[in-house]
Amino acid sequence: MCGIWALFGSDECLSVQCLSAMKIAHRGPDAFRFENVNGFTNCCFGFHRLAVVDQLYGMQPIRVKKFPYLWLCYNGEIYNFKQLQKQFGFEYQTLVDGEVILHLYNRGGIEQTASMLDGVFSFILLDTANRKVFLARDTYGVRPLFKVLTDDGFLGVCSEAKGLIDLKHSTSLCSKVEPFLPGHYEVLDLKPSGKVASVELVKFHSYKEEPLHAACDTVENLPSGFDLETVKSNIRILFENAVRKRLMAHRRIGCLLSGGLDSSLVAAVLLKLMKEINVSYPLQTFAIGMENSPDLLAARKVAAHIGSEHHEVIFNSEEGIQAIEEVIFSLETYDITTVRASIGMYLVSKYIRKKTDSVVIFSGEGSDELTQGYIYFHKAPSPEEAAEESERLLKELYLFDVLRADRTTAAHGLELRVPFLDHRFTSYYLSLPAELRIPKNGIEKYLLRQSFEDSNLLPKEILWRPKEAFSDGIASVKKSWFSILQDYIDQQVDDLLLEKAAEKYPFNPPKTKESYYYRQIFEKHYPGRSNWLPHYWMPRWVKATDPSARTLKHYKSATQE
C-alpha cells in the first residue's frame, strides 16, 4: 500500500504543485520521492512508500536497466509475479513484485499486462520511447486511483482525490477530478509539450469471467459440475488459495476480526496457513466495539478457538463522535452507511498503527456482495434477480465498502488485504447456478457457511452467526452506536435546515439529519465535489429510508428474539 501521484503537462511550477502530493503522505510513511521526467520538464512523479516487499530497492518510480525508457509508479501487490517470471523467463533486477509490469508490457503490451496481473493494483506507466502514458486499476478497485484531465491535455493522477483538488492550471483550479474505473486501462498519447491526449479507455476484465492469469495459478484445474460436494470443495480450495497467495510480505501480518462470519473465516484460514509455513510470530487479531458489544464477545470466542494473539479496542461514544470529521476527510465521501461503518475501522486502524507492529492487515470485505450476505437478499423476488444485485454491488464496491476499507487503513499507513475479492475465487462463485447462491432457511450466505461446516475452523455458533448491522455489532448492549449517533446529530442539525436541504444540496439531497450532518462536513473539505458519490448505498426490494440492516424486518425479528 503506497501513495502514487503524477502530473503530465503542468503549466505551473512543479515545486508548487508537489505540495498537493504531500496530502497523501499517510499512505506511505516510510519514504517519499519526487522525480522529474527526463526530457519533459513539466512532467513528474511523486511517491509515498510503505515498505512491504524489497525494502532495499523498492522505491519508485521503478526503472530498470533493461528498459530505460519505462517509468512505473504503482500501488498494490502482484501475487503471481514469481509464476509469471517462471512462465515467461523474465529476469528481474529487484525483488519488487511490481517490476513484472515492466516485463509484461515489454513482452505483450498493455492489454496483456493488465489481464495477466493477479493482485490488486493501480498504476501509471510511462513509455518515453513510444510517447505513451498508461493508467490501470484492478478489477474491483481495491487500490484507489483518481485522475483529472483538462481540455488542453494537462493530466493529474493520484491515489486519493485530495491530492488533485488544489492543483493549479493556467488561471483556474482544475475542476473535474473523478475516480478511475476499476477493471479498466487507459491509453494516452504524450505530446512533445508534455501534454496528453486520451486515445482509448478499455475494460480488460469482467469479474464473471475466469481471469487470464488463472492459466498460471498455483491451483490447477478444479473439478467441474455443480453437485453440492464438488462445489463446497472448490470453494474451500479457492478460498484457501486466495489467503495463501496474500501471505507475501516482509512486514508483520495481522487480521481484523469482528466475530462475524467473513472476518472469522479469513482469520481462521490465515492462522492455519501461517502455521503451515512456520511464520515466526503469532497472528495478531483486532476487534473493536463499545463495552460488551456483540462483536467483541463473538471475536473473543473466535480468537480463543483459533489461538490468535487477540487485541480488543474499546471506544466510547465521545471518541466515536470526535472521529467523524477526520473519517469523512479520509474517505472523501458522504455516503451514510460508509461513514457510519468507517468509524470503528478507522479507530481500530489507529490503534494498530500506534500500539503494534502489524502492518499488513487482512479483512473480510467483499463477501457480503459476492455471497449475498446483506439482510435484504431475503426479499429478492427470484434467484436471478439476487444474482444480478450481487453483480451490481460488486461493480460498485469501489464507491462503498472497498473505499471504506482502503481509506480507513491507509489513513494510518496500513496495507489491507481482502481474500474474498480474489479474482479466481469470485469468478468461480459467480459461475455457480443462481439458486445455489441465495439465502436458505432464513440464513444468508448459506452456501459459504455450508462449505466450511465440517472444517472445524470455527465454532458452529460463529459459522452460523447471523449478520449484524456493523453499527450495532460494535455497540454497547445498553445503547446502540446507531442510537448514540442519532441523538448527537439531532442536536447538531436544526429541523429547518433539513427542510431546506434539497435547495442547498440539489444533488443527492440529504433526507435525514444524519445524512445532512455528513454532507456539511464533506462540503467543508470538498466543496462542489458531491458527484464523487453517484448515489447513496441503499437496500433493494424494501421500503427503506436508512441503509442500515437494523431497519429491516428480518433483522428486527432476529434481534428481538
What percent of the chain stands above pLDDT 90?
Answer: 77
The catalytically annotated residue of 2, 43, 73, 174 is: 2
Min mean pLDDT across 4-13, 27-36, 124-133 is at 27-36
561 falls in which pLDDT band (50, 70, 90)? very low
pLDDT (0 to 100) of residue 556: 45
289, three cell numbers: 466495539
150, three cell numbers: 483538462
Predicted confidence (pLDDT) per residue in 200-239, tens digit? 999 998 888 888 888 888 787 889 999 999 999 999 999 9
Predicted confidence (pLDDT) per residue in 125-150, tens digit? 999 999 999 999 999 999 999 999 99
61 prior amide bond cis, ω within 30: yes
The average pLDDT across 469-485 equals: 67
CB neighbourhood size of 478 (10 A): 10
Give the pairing of strands 358-362 and 67-78. unpaired
| Full set of structural domains in the chain with CATH | 3-203 (3.60.20.10), 237-484 (3.40.50.620)
Name residue, grid cell 512505473: 72
Asked if residue 113 lies in contact with residue 105, where contact means CB atoms within 8 angstroms, the answer is: yes
- Cα pseudo-dihedral 277, 282, 283, 285, rounded to 10: 170
pLDDT (0 to 100) of residue 154: 94
Residue type at position 223 = P
Instruction: Show the CA angle centred on residue 111, arms to residues 108 and 115, nearest 5°.
Output: 100
d(C-alpha 480, C-alpha 474), whole Å: 8
Host H or E run for residue 201: strand 196-203
Q: Residue 551 pLDDT > 80, yes or no?
A: no
553 falls in which pLDDT band (50, 70, 90)? low
Q: What predicted TM-score, i.e. pTM, was given to this entire model?
A: 0.94
DSSP category for residue 540? S
d(C-alpha 242, C-alpha 246), whole Å: 7
d(C-alpha 313, C-alpha 355), whole Å: 11
pLDDT (0 to 100) of residue 326: 98
Greatest Cα pair distance, the chain, in angstroms, is 70
Name residue, grid cell 496495507: 415
pLDDT (0 to 100) of residue 555: 46
pLDDT (0 to 100) of residue 545: 74
Q: Residue 560 pLDDT > 50, yes or no?
A: no
Residue 139, helix vs strand vs coil: coil
Q: Residue 1 pLDDT > 90, yes or no?
A: no
d(C-alpha 538, C-alpha 546), whole Å: 7
257, three cell numbers: 476480526
Instruction: Examine the residue annotation and report whether 44 is marked as an active-site residue of this protein.
Output: no
Asked if residue 309 lies in contact with residue 282, where contact means CB atoms within 8 angstroms, the answer is: yes
Asked if residue 427 lies in contact with residue 207, where contact means CB atoms within 8 angstroms, the answer is: yes
SS (H, E, C) 267-335: HHHHHHHHHHCCCCCCCEEEEEECCCCHHHHHHHHHHHHHCCEEEEEECCHHHHHHCHHHHHHHHCCCC
Selection from 341, 351, 360, 353 nearest residue 403 by Cα: 341
What percent of the chain stands above pLDDT 70?
Answer: 93
d(C-alpha 534, C-alpha 508), whole Å: 8
d(C-alpha 33, C-alpha 155), whole Å: 19
Q: Binding site residues for L-glutamine, as ranges?
A: 97
Please report the DSSP string for 36-67 in residue order: EETTEEEEEEEEEE---S-TTT--SSEEETTE
Predicted confidence (pLDDT) per residue in 398-432, tens digit? 999 999 999 999 999 999 999 999 999 999 999 99
478 falls in which pLDDT band (50, 70, 90)? low
d(C-alpha 163, C-alpha 160), whole Å: 6
- Cα pseudo-dihedral 117, 66, 63, 398, rounded to 10: -10
d(C-alpha 272, C-alpha 375), whole Å: 30
SS (H, E, C) 112-144: HHHHHCCEEEEEEEEECCCCEEEEEECCCCCCC
d(C-alpha 469, C-alpha 485), whole Å: 14
Predicted confidence (pLDDT) per residue in 387-398, tens digit? 999 999 999 999
Residue type at position 491 = Q
d(C-alpha 291, C-alpha 286), whole Å: 15
Q: What backbone phi and psi angles, to 5 degrees, belong to 184?
A: -125, 155
d(C-alpha 257, C-alpha 362), whole Å: 9
